[in-house]
Copies of this chain bind each other. A is one copy, B any other.
Amino acid sequence: MKKAKDVTNAKVKIIPLGGLEQIGMNITAFEYGDSIVVVDCGLSFPEDEMLGIDLVIPDVTYLKDNIDKVKGFVITHGHEDHIGGLPYVLKEVSAPIYATKLTMGIIENKFKEHNLLKTTKRKVIKYGQSINLGDFRIEFIRTNHSIADAAALAIYSPAGIIVHTGDFKVDYTPVFGDTIDLQRFGELGKKGVLALLCDSTNVMKPGFTMSERTVGKTFDNIFAENTKNRIIVATFASNVDRVQQIINSAHKYGRKVVIEGRSMVNIISTANELGYLNVPDNILIDIEQMRNYKDEQLVVITTGSQGEAMAALSRIAASIHRKISIKPGDTVIFSSTPIPGNEKSVSKVINELSMKGAKVIFQDTHVSGHACQEEIKLIYALTKPKYAVPVHGEYRHLITHAELAEGMGVDENNIFILSSGDVLELGQEKGEVIGKVPAHGILVDGLGVGDVGNIVLRDRQHLSENGLIIIVITLEKYSNQVLAGPDIVSRGFVYVRESENLMDEAREVVNMSLDKCFHNNVTDWGKIKTEIKDSLSDYLWKKTKRNPMILPIIMEV
């Protein structure tokens, strides 16, 4: 009796530290009593206004403050937005990592680069297997996604079972492995699911996502039609099944395969070693061997499908790749769709390839790895959760997901649209947001983690739009007499040679400001600088309608 009562009163906390109101940087803490389990630990790529930033990682202050409770990181799959934060976060919150085999292989590649292999405990988990982490038990459930070995999680807590889908789709004819374990979702639903945390990426799209296998058919058709020239296929490095299908078509049509691009080479060799690729003997050749084959005997699989400036395909298109240059007749396949924000870069690469005579194909050569509306409904129908917590999405995705969940019978008061940092407490009786923890992204710039913030970014923005003007003056310490200057240096403002008048007049304006200050016995450097800044800024705006950063520097001798 007592135990039963305890169960009813038990409450579990769900604390997303990222991944909400954004696509990327997925990380969620589950807390009960003295146990915290962290699901995923991703990074996100900088927004346009984060000038010069390389990547953004989650703020794990809450985990650091509760370090003794943290039992481990449970990872759903090997994409950067789910694993990319690990090397940074583990330096502050060391805990064991649990993941499926391929996911762990990709994580280990990353750890090698960061020298973390020896210091981090890791355990590979199979589908259907469970692990006990403090008060939690975590079961890995097979799903389909655009990377093999993706898992959903059943998180057993004293307050009930929480199902976290990770990123998923329903593929009835997957290229590798089996269909998502819908039976298990159904069984869990029968037992009773307290809460469902479900992928929202494609929730605004009606219908079903097509099977990965449909892309294979398109490849076969393209290979059948283009028998005389070289074929180059750009896709996501981590889409091992896609690469498998390209290899299949290459095999069928008697072409050798070259893998190009650092991340592609890394992931494909890991996948191959671990048995996630079925590669016919002697089909893979080294890039150096290409010269031994005719164009019609070759297919190159490469990174750069998003138009990333430094990726192999972009370098090929710009004729700065050391080994591959485009010839007229080359067939280039974009096996991808542009991620929002990358449309123009992708167009640029397509234009460059076309100008060099390549034929560019991008129709029916990609399917998404995320569930559309009907697949999401299927998961709700199977799990019948009491509470719904839409995850992985911007606000517009989450709100659409919430409507879908209500349509699937979840009580509207039991649907929670969270922001990163919200502390959601769920029990059988009720669920509510009971607090907030820090969850702003931490900016990484070069080796610096968190040393660039709003002021630095605002300065970069200002400099990027208008450039700067530096005024240097050397004053005599006691008399305040001007010993040297004002010297004016500008960068990113105007062509100085064509604007000599402007610069001469600017110097005049500064001299007048100085005269004014000295005449009024203003000797405070701060005040002098402000006077120079204001008058020069006024003058330049009037003359140019521009607003450069103005930096007066006073030296004293």
Contacts and interface: CB of A to CB of B under 8 A. Distances in A.
B52 A464 contact: yes
Contacts of A474: 474, 483-484, 555, 557
Nearest to A419: B355
Interface stretch (A283-291, A319-327, A444-452): A444-452
Contacts of A470: 470, 551, 553
B340 A347 contact: yes
24 contacts: A51-B465, A52-B466, A347-B396, A351-B394, A354-B395, A354-B396, A354-B399, A355-B395, A445-B544, A445-B546, A447-B544, A447-B545, A456-B495, A459-B491, A460-B464, A460-B467, A463-B463, A468-B468, A472-B553, A474-B474, A474-B555, A483-B557, A484-B556, A487-B553
Contacts of A452: 494-495
A355 to B, nearest CB: 5
Nearest to A206: B363
Contacts of A468: 463, 468, 491
B351 A396 contact: yes
Interface of A: 21, 47-48, 51-52, 340-341, 343-344, 347, 350-351, 354-355, 360, 394-396, 399, 445-448, 451-453, 455-457, 459-468, 470, 472, 474, 483-485, 487, 489, 491-495, 498-499, 543-546, 549, 551, 553, 555-557
Nearest to A485: B555
A394 B360 CA distance: 14
Contacts of A494: 448, 451-452, 456
Nearest to A495: B451
Given A360-B396, A451-B498, A463-B491, 8 more contacts: A52-B464, A52-B465, A447-B545, A456-B467, A462-B492, A468-B491, A474-B555, A555-B555
A53 to B, nearest CB: 9
Nearest to A540: B446
A21 B355 CA distance: 10
A188 B351 CA distance: 33
A360 B484 CA distance: 61
A556 B452 CA distance: 35
A493 B350 contact: no
Given A460-B465, A461-B464, A487 B555 contact: yes
Nearest to A351: B395
Closest 8 CB pairs of A and B: A464-B464, A446-B545, A459-B492, A52-B465, A463-B463, A460-B492, A446-B546, A351-B395
A486 B430 CA distance: 64
B52 A467 contact: yes
A472 B354 contact: no
Contacts of A360: 396
Contact of A464 (B51, B395, B399, B551): B51
A331 to B, nearest CB: 14
Residue from A395, A453, A461, A549 with most neighbouring chain B CB atoms (10 Å): A395
A460 B555 CA distance: 27
B394 A347 contact: yes
A456 B493 contact: yes
Contact of A341 (B343, B448, B466, B485): B343
Contacts of A47: 344
A419 to B, nearest CB: 9
B463 A492 contact: yes
Contacts of A553: 470, 472, 487, 489, 553
A350 B204 CA distance: 13
A459 B545 CA distance: 19
A492 B50 CA distance: 11
A552 to B, nearest CB: 10
A172 to B, nearest CB: 28
Given A551-B470, A551-B489, A396 B350 contact: yes
Contacts of A354: 395-396, 399
B344 A48 contact: yes
A499 B451 contact: yes
A460 B354 CA distance: 30
